[in-house]
Structures are given as C-alpha cells and as structure tokens.
Amino acid sequence: MDVRKPASGGHNIVVTRVIAAPRELVWLAWTDPLQTAKWFCPRECAVTEYHADVRLGGGYRVEMVCNGSSHRAFGTYLEIRPVERLVFTHQWHEPDAPETVVEVEFTEVSGCTRITLRQSGLGSDSSAKGHESGWASAIEHLAASLGSECSAG
C-alpha cells in the first residue's frame, strides 16, 4: 500500500548489487534501526545518529559525518512489503533540497539477495551521479557487514 505516489521528473538512478546473505537478513538490515545505523552511509562516512519508525507513514532521520562534514537526511516510509520492497522519501536537510523517492527491491537469487535501488526526482545530473556513488558505497558497506558479494548474480 502506498501513502502517496512517488515524485516524477528530475534525474533518476538505479543501483544493483547481489549480496551473499539470505533475503530475510538483508531485509532486517534495512528495517531494524539498530542494524541500519551500522551501514546507512557511504563507506568513507560514519553514521552518528539514526532513528527510524519503520511503518507505513513512519519516518527516519540520519546524520552522518564524511570527511569532517556533517550531513543530515530524513524521509517517510511510503510502502513496506516485508522481505520484498521498501519505498521511502529521501531529502537532505539543506536549503532547496528536493524530496526524492527511493525504491528498494529484494530478490532471492540462489540463497543470495539482489538489491535493486531506484531513486527518482534528483535535481541535477551531478546530484544523480553523487547519489549513485553514495548508494553504491552504502550498499557495499552493507555487504561488508553481512558477507561478501555473491557469485550467483
């Protein structure tokens, strides 16, 4: 069930990675705040604060430090299909930052999990490239915390 329709327009990205962990474990890494706080940032950064109320209409907020600079983001959960799909808004806490929509799909692949992350509504090509790099690094961070890359994907 959707709370509202995803934003249309803007720049979009897709990041895909297969992780050597069962889908249930990967799902928990995205939805259990204690686990998410360990990896929900690029590898060169560190999460300093993370709060989430993972329910339809619930919200999250994260603060991370990268190269000495603090960055804060927040959002609302729009769709939750356990072990299959998670959709939430994402917005940086800075002037004129657009609200984007992140869709994450979890697909079982021979005992491993394929994560397909789509983010829509980014404000520019450079923002899209930065977010693509950031999400790829964050998912690498997640993979390192759960296991290595899977050969099945």
Region class of 103: left (phi > 0), else alpha (psi between -120 and 50), else beta: beta
Provide the CATH topology of domain 11-146.
Answer: Alpha-D-Glucose-1,6-Bisphosphate; Chain A, domain 4 (3.30.530)
Which sequence spans correspond to the domains of the chain? 11-146
pLDDT in tens, 13-25: 999 999 999 999 9
Residue 20 in contact with residue 147, Cβ under 8 Å?
Answer: yes
What does the pLDDT read at residue 122? 95
Predicted local confidence at residue 10, as pLDDT: 84
Does residue 48 contact residue 38 with C-beta atoms inside 8 Å? no
Strands 100-109 and 112-122: what pairing? antiparallel
Exposure b/e, 55-94, CB count within 10 A at least 16 = b: eeeeebebbbeeeeeebebbbbbbbbeebeebbbbbebee
pLDDT of 86 higher than 50? yes
Global pTM reads 0.90
| Residue 3 predicted with pLDDT over 70 | no
Say if residue 8's pLDDT is above 60.
Answer: no
